[in-house]
Structure 1
Amino acid sequence: MTITHPAYEQLRQVTPSAAVVLADNPSGMTLQGTNTWLLRAPGATEYVLVDPGPKDRKHTEALVRATGGEIVLTLITHEHADHTGGIDHLVKATGTPVRAKGSEFLRGSGTVLADSEVIEAAGLRITVLATPGHTGDSHSFVVDGPDGERVLLTGDTVLGSGTTVLESSDGALADYLDSLNRLVAVAPGRTLLPAHGPDHPDAEPVIRFYIAHREERLNQVRAALEKLGPKAKSLQIVAEVYADVDKRLWPAAHSSVKAQLAYLRSRG
């Protein structure tokens, strides 16, 4: 029987070199749950793991089962607890080194990730891309495998469904638009492997949708400012632009709106 998304705590092979184990932590913010990606070229004996997931022993145990504990390296896409909470359980079980942008997440021989560096591991070539916007430390991974296999892991920068919440910092939207442009440049011919939601066989149209969506939201915020006045508060904008969205998600929308207002006001 073919396993399809969502399949909790089961190993699901997506491409010859990429498999996923979905954490059982669904919510309005995590969609069906957090994807932990396991990367290994056919014939390789060890894995590179991306995002250990939440602090949940059942999820860690599922990862250990899936890999036999043979994890040569763990990479972190960004700081949020549903991606990093399981680090110490995984390290205790497997001894894997952990690399991330934030030094607080490093373990063992792991060092801080550097933008554009190339990692050779598990029979794969992994290029690190800094893609801030969702968080300041967000990174994506461009993976090239044998026989021309090409995948793109985007963390929470691009999801498998829906759209991404931005940090509320002043430069978040400018950073995010730059990140989307970096990703769309490397996307052609690559399978999209997001941290939440289903994978997609073609990353490019998904990322182009994200770019178009951001432009649409900016236009909606501009229209709201014209209606409410240039000094309108961010919560007023949320109520205007996100009127058709479940109010339980308004706190997340508020973060994105604050980033959009800062972007527009910085440009006069």
Structure 2
Amino acid sequence: MTPAHPAYAQLRQVTDIAAVMLEDNPGMMTLDGTNTWILRAPGREECVVVDPGEADEEHLLRVASVGPVALTLITHRHGDHTGGIDRFVELTGSPVRSVDPKFRRRTDAGLPDGELIEEVGLAIRVLRTPGHTLDSTSFVIEGEGSVLTGDTILGRGTTVLDSTDGDLGDYLASLRSLIDLGTGRTVLPGHGPDLPDLQTVAQQYLDHREDRLDQVRAALEALGADASVRSVVEHVYTDVDEKLWPVAEQSVRVQLDYLRR
């Protein structure tokens, strides 16, 4: 019987091609922990790994043990997805491809939008989905159609946009790109459980963001155009536990940048 999420320290098969190893690093921003995805074509030994996770020796050893790793891909720069890269390369010898050159190892190859990566019997389409961070990238597994979404879409809750290089305009466009992929695609997220229909979830995310934008616009009308981030959070996020307000401030800062542009 296939274990259910969250299943720590074990390989959980999700689709015919994709399995997940959940890192034991739960937290406010990581939910149950970071999902490290292992992609393997039927009948093949070698695999492709997406997001090795933090520098957690036990987790990295478990991932490295699942089989020869031909390639490692990175969805975005955050440390809970990239912190273990160097140790993972030591363990596996795998090249690492990412949008940000800082995280590339044993290759100079980036992740240009639309590229079809053909490796060890897999065909993986690169779909740039910036917004959560500037370098955020999704991967479409051709053939079965499932999509690795990194932190652009999570298995539960909503995504916080990084206030340093996240961009709401980019994020809304990325959600529309995911919606345009069509129905019936399994969501393989960076955190949380897998979900059955990407188009439905992406539309819910888009509707939620547009609703929040309307609320922020209304807050600015009530508080004044120069209202502070904190005052907007206190006005808008009355339905959210105050312990989460520091996280909400990141989202509001990005929303205000978007509106004030």
TM more than 0.5 = yes
Does the residue aligned with 1:186 lie in a helix, a strand or coil? coil
Greater alpha carbon shift after TM alignment, 243-252 vs 186-195: 243-252
Does the residue aligned with 1:21 lie in a helix, a strand or coil? strand
Whole-angstrom distance in 1 between the partners of 2:49 and 2:86: 14
In structure 1, the gaps of 5 or more residues are none
Matched letter for residue 207 of structure 2: A
**Displacement of 1:41:** 1.2
Aligned ranges 1:221-232 → 2 under 5 Å: 221-232=216-227
Matched letter for residue 47 of structure 1: C
Whole-angstrom distance in 2 between the partners of 1:45 and 1:20: 16
CA offset digits 1:80-117 (Å, max 9, x no partner): 00000111111001100000011111111351111111
Cα–Cα, structure 1 residues 170 and 198, in superposed 2: closer, same or farther, change >3 Å? closer
Aligned ranges 1:164-175 → 2 under 5 Å: 164-168=159-163, 172-175=167-170
Counterpart in the other structure of 1:76: 74
Counterpart in the other structure of 1:99: 97
Counterpart in the other structure of 2:19: 19
CA contact (8 A) 1:34 1:196 kept: yes
**Displacement of 1:64:** 1.7
CA contact (8 A) 1:97 1:110 kept: no
Aligned ranges 1:112-191 → 2 under 5 Å: 112-145=110-143, 149-168=144-163, 172-191=167-186
In structure 2, the gaps of 5 or more residues are none
Whole-angstrom distance in 2 between the partners of 1:171 and 1:246: 23
TM-score normalised by length of structure 1: 0.94
**Displacement of 1:122:** 2.7
CA contact (8 A) 1:171 1:263 kept: no
Counterpart in the other structure of 1:213: 208
Whole-angstrom distance in 1 between the partners of 2:202 and 2:63: 29
Whole-angstrom distance in 2 between the partners of 1:187 and 1:36: 25
Whole-angstrom distance in 2 between the partners of 1:170 and 1:8: 31
Matched letter for residue 83 of structure 2: G
Aligned ranges 1:184-199 → 2 under 5 Å: 184-199=179-194
- State, as a whole percentage, how many aligned pairs show the same letter: 58
Whole-angstrom distance in 2 between the partners of 1:151 and 1:61: 26
Whole-angstrom distance in 2 between the partners of 1:62 and 1:119: 25
Whole-angstrom distance in 2 between the partners of 1:53 and 1:227: 43
CA offset digits 1:195-243 (Å, max 9, x no partner): 0010012111111100000011101111111221121111111111112
